[in-house]
Structure 1
Amino acid sequence: MYHYTDSGLDNIYLENGYQLENMDDEEYLSIHHMDELHAAIGGLLVEKSAPLTANEFRYLRTELNLSQKALGGVLGVDSQTVARWEKAETQIPRTSDVVLRAYFLESQNQTSSIAYLLKMLSESEAMQEAEQITLEEINDHWQAKRTA
């Protein structure tokens, strides 16, 4: 068995699907189907019933190819908050744990629109404060005023 610590997780072991070679007194590792391996690891993390650990949270974020700043934007927190979660300095809120799991699941299955909605919300947050909402009463009912 190979202890796969390059994943950033301490509890990942590979029974097969890898090859170790020695060349010039150096050991080289080759892992078959690396993308599928990382997707499988992420899937197991998403399915576990316990809250994500700091390292597991970081693993999913990096597998999504998100910076701490980008994930912070999606979750409505700053990058330093994400960094503190990943260093286990503060506890990861359950809602952020769930959102990251859902985001990862969607990245594996393109039929969902969670990532689109999260991105739309994070991008529109700044615009939302400046946006004026105008209502008008028509036939005893309030509705958003249509603009031309």
Structure 2
Amino acid sequence: MYHYIESGLPNVYLKNGYSIEVIDDEEYTSIDDMDGLHRVLARTIASKAMPLTNAEFKFLRIELNLSQRVLGKWFGVSEQTIARYEKGQSEIPRTTDAALRSLYMESIEQNNSVSYFLDLLANYEAAQAAQEILLEEVDRQWKLAG
């Protein structure tokens, strides 16, 4: 398995869909269908029943191709506030979490209401352990590993 830390997320592992090549004693990793991988990863993050981590918040913002400044304007906060969320220096408000998820799902045309995500977060149990996301490539498409 390949620990895909380049995503900016600490808990992503690839079961397959990658190759490692050694050139001049340096390892180079190539990942198949990076866009597809990131779409599945972002959709998985946006749909999870736990609050977003700072890294997940940043990942979704980047997948939306939004700057901290623009996202801050949309949420009515400064870009420094967005930066503090992403660095883990400030807690991400539940409504901001739900709004970012909703923006992402809207961007891929899987419209879920903000209340859907607020319900997900309200039902979250704090004692739940962090989970790893294991992905695999099947027939040239990324999906959650079964």
The SS at the match of 2:66 is coil
Query: How many pairs are equivalent?
Result: 113
TM-score normalised per structure 1: 0.73
Equivalence for 1:7:
7
Give the structure with the higher percent helix. 1
Which amino acid is the alignment partner of residue 32 of structure 1?
A: D
Equivalence for 1:95:
95
Report the Cα offset of residue 110 of structure 1: 7.8
Unaligned regions of 5+ residues in structure 2, if any? Answer: 115-146
**Is the CA contact 2:102–2:111 (under 8 Å) kept in the aligned structure 1?**
no
CA deviation string 1:59-96 (max 9, x = no partner): 10011111100100111111011011111111100111
CA deviation string 1:33-81 (max 9, x = no partner): 1001001110110111110011100010011111100100111111011
The SS at the match of 1:109 is coil
Equivalence for 2:139:
none
Equivalence for 1:140:
none
- Residues 1:27 and 2:27 aligned together: yes
Structure 2 Cα separation of the partners of residues 107 and 37 of structure 1: 16
Structure 2 Cα separation of the partners of residues 26 and 89 of structure 1: 35
Unaligned regions of 5+ residues in structure 1, if any? Answer: 115-148
Identity among equivalent positions (%) equals 52
- Residues 46, 111 of structure 1: alpha-carbon distance in 2 compared, 3 angstrom cutoff: closer
**Is the CA contact 2:43–2:105 (under 8 Å) kept in the aligned structure 1?**
yes
Equivalence for 1:105:
105
- Residues 47, 18 of structure 1: alpha-carbon distance in 2 compared, 3 angstrom cutoff: same
Tell me which stretches of 4 or more aligned residues in structure 1 moved more than 3 Å: none
Structure 2 Cα separation of the partners of residues 82 and 102 of structure 1: 17
Equivalence for 1:59:
59
Structure 1 Cα separation of the partners of residues 2 and 109 of structure 2: 29
- Residues 36, 73 of structure 1: alpha-carbon distance in 2 compared, 3 angstrom cutoff: same
Q: CA RMSD in A?
A: 1.6
CA deviation string 1:22-42 (max 9, x = no partner): 111111111101001001110
* Bigger RCO of structures 1 and 2 (CA < 8 A, at least 6 apart): 2
Q: How does 1:45-84 map to 2 (within 5 A)?
A: 45-84=45-84
The SS at the match of 1:56 is helix
Structure 2 Cα separation of the partners of residues 97 and 111 of structure 1: 16
TM-score normalised per structure 2: 0.74
Structure 2 Cα separation of the partners of residues 93 and 39 of structure 1: 24
